[in-house]
Amino acid sequence: MAKKTIADVADLMGKKVLVRVDFNVPLDDAGNITNDRRIRAALPTLRHILDKGGSAIVMSHLGRPKGDPKKDAPFRMDRAAQRLGELLGKPVQKIDEVVGPHADGAAATLQQGHVLVLENLRFHPGEQKGDAAFAAQLGKLADIYVNDAFGTCHRQDASMLAVPESMKGKPRVVGFLVAKELDILDNLLGSPQKPFIGILGGAKVSDKIGFITSLLSRVDRLLIGGAMTYTFMKAQGQAIGSSRCEHDKLDVARELLSRAEGKIVLPLDHLVADKPEAGAQTQVVAGNIPDGWFGMDVGPKTIDLYREEIKKAGTAVWNGPMGKFEDEPFSKGTRAIAAALAEAKGVTIVGGGETAEAVEEFGLDSRMRHVSTGGGAFLEYLEGKSFAALAQIDDKL
């Protein structure tokens, strides 16, 4: 059933709105934000709340803090709050608490049209435990709950599940970002234009077994790249040199290849290196990879083949890089797939995570039909899994 959105809340004037966003942005070693895409994605919802006379209390997690104040310093929400203020063009208040007297006071005195950012949710142990008492403290801060964090919709953290549960009787809706993600995935992928191809990369077959299984029942072709290539190759009896391989998943790979009935397309050639890092000696090999060499990217024949498949596609869904694209010598495959999708006439959907970051880094994100903000959530939703977090949202009648 369709879920209510923030646009369905008739009166926001003077209301305090608790907005769960996904500001889990990538950081450099100094803690600086290297890509603010997830912050920008929340702007339509936040601007709507402020323009309609409400105030926004923003909460998010950031990184994986371990409870050490010194080591966790880069994971404070200060820089995200500062960047949000720059993008909104107005001051944003940030506090150093998630819940407690200071948070209660800051929320109570928050003025109409203003924004308050709470500290990193994961600084409180109740968040990942789904603690009901912690959730109730958050829930009492506001009149309305908004889930605009598609990237964490597959999780059962307190802010996603227990908080809206504690706010029964108050409006509980999704933001514009989550609404858009659900609309794209439900409508476009529910009846995709043919031919429908999937492009799948990344390191592990094990991370994407469910996704591969789901895609195989719907796609016409599934193009494989990334380090998972070598698990499939090994399962077929090919030599993979020193390339990364999940030896405990070879039987799974064989089963997937058998079930695919020819739909799975593996690389024709590979860019290999004598060590898995920039500055290594490289060569292109077709078929078996020599001993002592590491598969790092798809080769030129594979790029040409995949480019032609994308050109013919009515719908193309991509998740996972073709190689270690962070190092320039091994970025050609990922860059070529992004460019081919940008030029494609069919519907093009990029599935979150580092794939989305790569597309944006190449300056091609605006030329895709949709770039998802959710990596794991994107995969699980396409697998057909239901999200308990969305079950807490009010249904449209």
- Output the pLDDT for position 387: 93
Distance between terminal CA atoms of the chain? 9
Is 122 among the catalytic positions?
no
What are the pLDDT tens digits along the chain (397 aa)? 589 999 999 999 999 999 999 999 988 888 899 889 899 999 999 999 999 999 999 999 999 998 877 788 899 999 999 999 999 999 999 999 999 999 999 999 999 999 999 999 999 999 999 999 999 999 999 999 999 999 999 999 999 999 999 999 999 999 999 999 999 888 777 888 999 999 999 888 888 888 888 889 889 999 999 999 999 999 999 999 999 999 999 999 999 999 998 999 999 999 999 999 989 999 999 989 999 999 999 999 999 999 999 999 999 999 999 999 988 899 999 999 999 999 999 999 998 788 988 998 899 999 999 999 888 888 888 888 889 999 999 999 8
- Output the pLDDT for position 351: 87
The active-site residue out of 126, 353, 374, 375 is 353
The active-site residue out of 31, 85, 210, 376 is 376
- Output the pLDDT for position 87: 97
- Going by the DSSP 8-state scheme, the letter that residue 157 receives in this structure is -
The active-site residue out of 38, 94, 180, 335 is 38
CA distances from 305 to 129, 212, 255, 390 (A): 47, 20, 25, 40
Q: Distance between CA atoms of 142 and 250, rounded to whole angstroms?
A: 51
**What is the DSSP pairing of strand 269-273 with strand 282-286?**
antiparallel
The active-site residue out of 204, 218, 254, 367 is 204
Task: Decide which of 3.40.50.1260, 3.90.1170.50, 1.20.120.140, 3.40.50.11390 is the CATH code for 6-177.
Answer: 3.40.50.1260
Is 323 among the catalytic positions?
no
- Output the pLDDT for position 1: 58
Q: How many Å separate Cα 240 from the centre of its chain?
A: 30
Question: In the sheet where 172-174 sits, what is the strand order?
Answer: 92-94, 115-117, 55-59, 16-20, 144-147, 172-174
- Output the pLDDT for position 102: 96
Is 376 among the catalytic positions?
yes
- Going by the DSSP 8-state scheme, the letter that residue 66 receives in this structure is -
- Output the pLDDT for position 88: 97
* Tokens 């460019």 found at: 339
* Tokens 């990942």 found at: 128
Q: How many Å separate Cα 239 from the centre of its chain?
A: 33
Is 353 among the catalytic positions?
yes
Contacts for 76-81 with beta carbons within 8 Å, 24 or more apart? 76/119, 76/120, 77/23, 77/117, 77/118, 77/119, 77/120, 79/31, 79/32, 79/33, 80/23, 80/25, 80/33, 80/39, 80/117, 81/117
**What is the DSSP pairing of strand 92-94 with strand 55-59?**
unpaired
Q: Distance between CA atoms of 53 and 274, rounded to whole angstroms?
A: 60
Q: Does residue 200 sit in helix, strand or coil?
A: strand
CATH topology of domain 184-382: Rossmann fold (3.40.50)
Q: Does residue 70 sit in helix, strand or coil?
A: coil
Domain ranges, ordered by start, for the chain:
6-177, 184-382
pTM (2 d.p.): 0.87
Q: Distance between CA atoms of 25 and 151, rounded to whole angstroms?
A: 11
- Tokens representing residue 336 in the block: 């070529």
